[in-house]
Structures are given as C-alpha cells and as structure tokens.
Amino acid sequence: MKAIGRHIILEMWGCQNLDSVETAERALRDMVDALDVHLLDLKVYPFSPVGVTGVAIVSESHLVIHTWPEFGYAAVDVFTCGAPRDPQAAVAVLRRYFKPERIGVMEINRGQLELPDENVEPQPKHGRSTPLRSRAPAYSA
C-alpha cells in the first residue's frame, strides 16, 4: 500500500533515565542521525515533580518522547515522510538510552493513497452537536 508517511508508536515499559532532560535530548538527536532526517528544532521540557516531554521537529515530520518515571514508562512517536526510513534505527537508539524491559510497537501508514472514500455524516449547521464518546479506557494516576 502506498502512503505518504510512516508513523511508529512505541510503548516502552521498565525504562531507566526517564527524568533526565539531557538523556531525552541526546536520544532525540541520535534518533535524528539514525533516521537520516533533517532537524529543524528540538525542545525538551521537564515536568514537576517528574517526567519530561521532548520533541524534535524535522523536515520529514516529528519525533516525540513523553516519560512517566513513576511508572517506568515512555511513549514515543516517530513520524516520517518522504524516503522510507527504517524505524528499527530509532528503536536501537531508544534501547540504548532508556533500557526498556519491553517495547510495544504499532505502525500506521499515514496519507494512504489507495483508501476508499468514507461517507461521513455532515454536522448540523445549527444547534449543538453530540460529541463522539472516546473508546479509550480511562486511566487514573
């Protein structure tokens, strides 16, 4: 199937180094190099009491890391478009920096060029529309 881009979603459990701005920044920079993408901007933000969020904006889209040290968990998005990139290169970098005990990987083809048209109900022009209910489970911290 032809697509404009690939979106790799990683769930990493049993991780180390999740509260370090420096580690997240180095991991993002090394992922940029490993994927051979072009860095436009990079920011990493600490959270209180723990955790970081880092984003690398690249010409080919973005790389994002969100950490929850209290759960040993990190969520990572690797979205690239253009020439095919091997997402295993990013996974190898993440393994080196965060040493996860296990990783779940999901891949989505973005901008699929061969999808059938979907009929979508138009929203009412007047009045209040009913929002769709989320099917995602609720998590408590």
Known catalytic residues? 61, 66, 81
Radius of gyration of the chain (CA): 18
Phi (first) and psi of residue 8, to 5 degrees: -100, 125
Q: Give the chain's largest Cα–Cα span.
A: 54
**Which residues, including other chains, have CB under 8 Å from residue 136's CB and lie 6 or more apart?**
none
**Which residues, including other chains, have CB under 8 Å from residue 51's CB and lie 6 or more apart?**
18, 19, 66, 67, 68, 69, 70
